[in-house]
Structure 1
Amino acid sequence: MQHPAVPELAHTHTRPIHWVATATAVAGVMALSSVVQPDSATAAQPAHASPRATHTTAPDPAGVDFPLTCGPVKAVVKTKATGDLDGDGSPETVAVVHCDAPMGTPPDGVYVLTRSADGTPRVVATLVDPKDGNTVSDFSVRDGSVLATLLGYSSTDVPRCCPDVTEPARWQWKNGAFLRSTPAGAHSV
């Protein structure tokens, strides 16, 4: 009888430990491949994507607790507008809010809403404080700016029904804050 040139190899006979080691290695590769995934393919890349942009819908002002003291009546959203004011790719909502007074002309507040980390709307800025006594007209959001006409009173002797001061205003996000300016060509009456 002739002996083989190569001695018998231990790994040519399968044992249960070999199957366990193979199953463990395959499970490890599967787990690693589920964690490490390539980005999904797209037909075109966005011109300027922001990694912070996570919400595509503007916050809804319904149910937001505005910093407005109304006593026994509730706060009412008079009008709202949306747009990306800070350039992060997510739209903000700007709401004109006043107390639901049974008579007279209640002053307006203008508030900027964004979404918190959990997606709920929250007030991040007050552009017009109701304590100033102004009402807002010709309100809009355009090109990253909030535009409005503020109607006010020259003295306490002017009836609250009939504002006699008109002041155009514009707010724009710059260096981490909303800066107010008067739009070009605007005149006070």
Structure 2
Amino acid sequence: MQQSAVPELAHTRTRPIHWVATATALAGVVALSSVVRPEPATAVQPAPGSHGKPAAAAPSTTGVDFPLDCGPVKAVIVKKATGDLDGDDRPETVAVVHCDAPMGTPPDGVYVLTRGADGRTARVVATLVRPGERLTVTAFRIRERAVSATLLGYSSDAVPSCCPDTRTPATWRWNGNAFVRSTPAGAHSV
């Protein structure tokens, strides 16, 4: 048998100290990576059609006085979405709001918000669904400058509030003067 030209190396056999050293080094890397972080990104992508201008911030729903009579309970924003609905390169916010009722299913209101004259506060400029219509809004979104939702409602006043029995898809688009609602033909379902 021929002997190796290289003497047996001590580090070719793993020992517990090797595992401890590896685990310590790995823990040090993980700990250091949680402390040393890159600066947050600050680049702003221009909105489509903005010709390189940074997009304006969408109006906030904070502090908005929605035209909703909730009595002693407060209004709750259930859903919201933002998008440029009128093509002016400034986004609007659309909010689905209802009263925070202690029981039952309170009807939703859908409101369009834009920035006020001061550029900071938001104001309601349109009501797409009035709470008096007794509708619940689902599948809510903004896409391609249109607001779309599915409206759950009631075929008559005899239907209990817990159990809406109609389902209607609806879309609202800005026509230059107002939001116009469209419903696909034959869309009502019971």
Same-fold call, TM cutoff 0.5: yes
| 2:178 maps to amino acid | A
| 2:106 maps to amino acid | P
Aligned to 2:136: 135
Aligned counterparts, 1:111-122, within 5 A: 111-119=111-119, 120-122=121-123
Q: Deviations over 1:10-35 (max 9, x none)?
A: xxxxxxxxxxxxxxxxxxxxxxxxxx
Aligned to 1:78: 78
Aligned counterparts, 1:42-121, within 5 A: 48-49=49-50, 56-119=56-119, 120-121=121-122
Aligned to 1:182: 183
**What is the alpha-carbon distance in structure 2 between the residues aligned to residue 59 and residue 87 of structure 1?**
16
The answer (yes or no) to whether the contact 1:172–1:179 under 8 Å persists in 2 is: yes
Aligned residues: 143
Q: Once superposed, which parts of structure 1, at least 4 consecutive aligned residues long, lie more than 2 Å away? A: 45-50, 183-189
**What is the alpha-carbon distance in structure 2 between the residues aligned to residue 69 and residue 54 of structure 1?**
38
**What is the alpha-carbon distance in structure 2 between the residues aligned to residue 162 and residue 115 of structure 1?**
37
CA apart distance, 1:185: 7.9
The answer (yes or no) to whether the contact 1:172–1:180 under 8 Å persists in 2 is: yes
| 1:177 maps to amino acid | A
- Which structure has the larger Rg over C-alpha atoms? 1
**What is the alpha-carbon distance in structure 2 between the residues aligned to residue 126 and residue 54 of structure 1?**
28
**What is the alpha-carbon distance in structure 2 between the residues aligned to residue 151 and residue 137 of structure 1?**
7
CA apart distance, 1:175: 2.6
CA apart distance, 1:150: 0.6
The answer (yes or no) to whether the contact 2:47–2:55 under 8 Å persists in 1 is: no
| 1:175 maps to amino acid | G
**What is the alpha-carbon distance in structure 2 between the residues aligned to residue 89 and residue 185 of structure 1?**
35
CA apart distance, 1:62: 1.7
| 1:60 maps to amino acid | S
**What is the alpha-carbon distance in structure 2 between the residues aligned to residue 185 and residue 134 of structure 1?**
19
Aligned to 1:15: none
Percentage identity across aligned positions?
Answer: 67
Unaligned 5+ runs, structure 1: 1-44
What SS is found at the alignment partner of 1:114? strand
Aligned counterparts, 1:140-155, within 5 A: 140-155=141-156
Unaligned 5+ runs, structure 2: 1-45
**What is the alpha-carbon distance in structure 1 between the residues aligned to residue 71 and residue 115 of structure 2?**
27
Distance 1:46 1:104, change over 3 A: closer
Aligned counterparts, 1:21-36, within 5 A: none
| 1:172 maps to amino acid | R
The answer (yes or no) to whether the contact 1:168–1:188 under 8 Å persists in 2 is: no
Superposed CA RMSD in Å reads: 2.3
CA apart distance, 1:188: 2.6
Aligned to 2:158: 157
| 2:173 maps to amino acid | Q
**What is the alpha-carbon distance in structure 1 between the residues aligned to residue 107 and residue 61 of structure 2?**
18
CA apart distance, 1:183: 4.1
Aligned to 2:172: 171
